[in-house]
Amino acid sequence: MTQDVREIKAALNFMMKSSLNQLKEEWIDGQVVMQTLHISVRTLQSLRDNGTLPFSRINGKFYYKVSDIEEMLETNYSRNKRK
């Protein structure tokens, strides 16, 4: 019986980890994006308008994929070397 409990526990842990991987495609609203990136409403609008940040709009509210935000940050990453 102890082995059965271990197998169930292992299966539950696997399912939880799989669920966490699915959250990578999580959608967040504009307020969270602005707070996280420390940007204004206008800056977020500009990112939408110029196609830098893809979005979905439902009932006037904008949503963004976390993976798209990460990609935008990676694409615009710059290493400035100071002398």
Residue 12 confidence (pLDDT):
74
More confident residue, 71 or 5: 71
pLDDT at 48: 97
Q: Give kind and range of the element (H or E) at residue 64.
A: strand 61-65
Please enumerate in sequence order all residues whose Cβ is within 8 A of that of 63, keeping only pairs 6 or more positions apart, or say none: 27, 28, 29, 30, 55, 56, 57
Domain regions of the chain by residue span = 25-83
- For residue range 6-35, list pLDDT tens digits in order: 777 777 777 666 655 555 578 999 999 999
